[in-house]
Amino acid sequence: MTNGGLILDGLTPHARLHALCLLAAHPGLRPTSGRRSVERNRAVGGVQGSFHLTGRAIDLSGGRGLLVAAARTARAQRVSHGCTGPEEVIDEGDHLHVAW
Ligand SMILES: [Zn+2]
Ligand SMILES: [Zn+2]
């Protein structure tokens, strides 16, 4: 049992919808980080002004092929009328960071 559900709960409704669609498209992905407090963000070495602070970013772990495929999906994904896609899609090697 992961805490993926709780991680998603901390996201904005828009980011959460994107995350749910991405997870549905790539079931092997595992959410590892969502909204962070300033203290938590500093502790994990997050950048200042990170989208994690406002609940707009999520980190996802999985195998290499899965992360590459998920990055492609995330860039193409639109979830609502007027949706312009992600703000950030960063393949960090051991995880994928996506912000909306
Ligand atoms: Zn969107
Ligand atoms: Zn991140």
2 band by pLDDT with thresholds 50, 70 and 90: low
Residue 81 Cα, ligand 2 centroid: separation in angstroms?
26
Mean pLDDT of 40-60: 96
Residue 48 Cα, ligand 1 centroid: separation in angstroms?
23
pLDDT tens by residue, 68-78 = 999 999 999 99
pLDDT tens by residue, 77-94 = 999 989 999 999 999 999
- CB–CB of 14/54 below 8 Å? no
- Residue 90: strand pairing partners: 97
Q: How far apart, in whole angstroms, are the C-alpha atoms of residue 92 and residue 25?
A: 20
Helix (H, G, I), strand (E, B) or coil at 76: helix
Mean pLDDT of 53-64: 98
Residue 31 Cα, ligand 1 centroid: separation in angstroms?
18
| Ligand lying closest to the C-alpha of residue 90 | 2
